[in-house]
Amino acid sequence: MISHLTDLTEMAKRREKKTIVVAAAHDKDVLRAVTDAYRQGISDAVLVGDAGKITKILTQLGCDPGDYTVIHSTTDTECARRAVREVREGRAHFLMKGMLGTADLMREVVDRDTGIRGDGLISHVMFFEQENYPKLLCLTDGGMITFPTLEQKVGILKNAARTMKRLGYDRIQAACVCGAESVNPKITATTDAAKLSEMKEEWESCNMNVFGPVGLDMAISKNSCAHKKYEAEGAGEADILLVPTYEVGNGIGKAMLYFGNAKNAGIIVGAKAPIILVSRSDAAESKLASIALASIAAE
């Protein structure tokens, strides 16, 4: 059980040092996070982008540019392609988006010839640290797959389980979060949740238990479960919240951040290497924790 984002950072420090490659690294916020991870012994870095700018920013940040591998690259596409190649050819363990569009980066990631596609689905996992919850909560998929089919939900859950296994989790509890506990044939989220809960064999290999449909309360509050007399393995103590649409994930995630003062760290999983997409507005702690998470998940 992991309670805090700093636990991820500490865990990453204790593991073998990895190498991150950043696509379009010529940005102060991005380099601050990457050099922070370097200083903490989490990862070395290959910085793809405008070499002049990168060197200048590194110096401004009080870093020695000699500690990093800088690969000069001008266009966004070139930056993305080269960064992906570093992973593909084994010189970097995971990838981070710098100053370029997510679509530009992902296009190179999924390229059938030169990309780093995996066998399965590519999805997003976001971990939240919450004052009111004793352990990290993994919310998925909050953005990569907007309206997943049942089959995609299976892939999303497997990706999340794989990530948690890397984090050292043994038994994993996953809740299919819907608007209620009852199965309504007209509401796909609830029928999918019922089907997912029944796929016991499917989850055996992940050592995961999937339950639902449940409202968020039955997923995370044992008190509420007792009150409503809702019983299911894992009820009230979910590790993973599977949301039916990205809109639900976005809403719950932002409510946690803005109303619950949560902290978060997220990565894209399912490709041959984890991918980090931090946004400018993320706190420094979140950015570092995302790098730590990717570093652990890259094993």
Q: Does 185 bind its own copies (CB under 8 A)?
A: no
Number of residues in contact with its own copies, rule: CB under 8 A? 41
Q: By CB under 8 A, tell whether 252 contacts its own copies.
A: yes
Convert residues 121-150 into a mask of x (bound to its own copies by CB under 8 A) and - (unbound): ---------xxxx---------x--x----
Applying CB under 8 A, which part among 9-17, 83-91, 250-258, 284-292 lies near its own copies? 250-258
Q: Which stretch binds its own copies (CB under 8 A): 18-26, 110-118, 259-267, 288-296?
A: 259-267
Residue nearer to its own copies on the CB measure, 210 or 218: 218
What residues contact residue 258 under an 8 Å CB cut-off, 6+ apart?
Answer: none
- By three-state DSSP, how is residue 242 classified? strand
DSSP, collapsed to helix, strand or coil, labels residue 11 as: helix
Q: Which residues contact 229 (CB under 8 A, 6 or more apart)?
A: none
According to the binding rule CB under 8 A, does residue 189 interact with its own copies?
A: yes
Supply the minimum distance, in Å, between the C-beta of residue 128 and its own copies.
Answer: 9
* Residue 243 contacts its own copies per CB under 8 A: yes
Instruction: Count the alpha carbons within 13 Å of 86 in the hemisphere toward its beta carbon.
Output: 25
Dihedral (CA of 221, 223, 229, 233) sign: positive
User: What's the token pair of residue 216?
Assistant: 């968020």
Interactions with its own copies, residue window 276-295 (CB under 8 A): 280-281
Q: Are 34 and 199 in contact (CB under 8 A)?
A: no
Binder among 49, 98, 115, 215 for its own copies (CB under 8 A)? 215
**Is 258 an interacting residue with respect to its own copies (CB under 8 A)?**
yes
Q: Is 4 in the site for its own copies (CB under 8 A)?
A: no
Determine whether 219 is exposed, middle or buried from the number of CB atoms within 10 Å of its CB (0-12, 13-18, 19+): buried
Task: Find the shortest distance in angstroms from Cβ 251 to its own copies.
Answer: 4
Does 194 contact its own copies by CB under 8 A? no
Sheet harboring 18-23: ordered strands across? 69-72, 43-49, 18-23, 94-97, 275-276, 263-269, 123-129, 137-140, 240-242, 172-177, 208-214
Residues that bind its own copies (CB under 8 A): 130-133, 143, 146, 177-180, 187, 189, 215-217, 220-221, 224, 227-228, 243-252, 254-262, 280-281
